[in-house]
Amino acid sequence: MKIVAICGAGIGTSGILKVNTERALHKLGLEADVVAADVASVAEVARDAQIILTSAEFVGAIGKTFSDVIVIENYFDTQELTLKLEAALG
């Protein structure tokens, strides 16, 4: 499974989201390839992703995708990430 964390530049916020997503997956007993990327490269990077994680401001920039797009309100809230990932994967 591949999960892509998207932010504007692909460095700071998506990096934080990547690390916290890995923590949430560990709590769920799941493994995935979690990648941090910028919104400009989402079409290429997320082509084979099952899930794209992002904030509400970037949803419109993602474009057409077969991935589940999950909006995360608080990138530091591993409980939010865990619940939303569990719902998407369950």
- The structural domains of the chain, ordered by start, are 2-80 (3.40.50.2300)
The model's pTM is 0.91
Asked if 14 and 35 touch (Cβ cutoff 8 Å), the reply is: no
Residue with tokens 């619940």: 83
The phi and psi torsions of 75 (rounded to 5 degrees) equal -65, -20
pLDDT digit string (tens) for the chain, length 90 residues: 999 999 877 668 889 999 999 999 999 999 999 999 988 888 888 899 999 999 999 898 888 888 999 999 998 899 999 999 999 987
Asked if 41 and 35 touch (Cβ cutoff 8 Å), the reply is: no
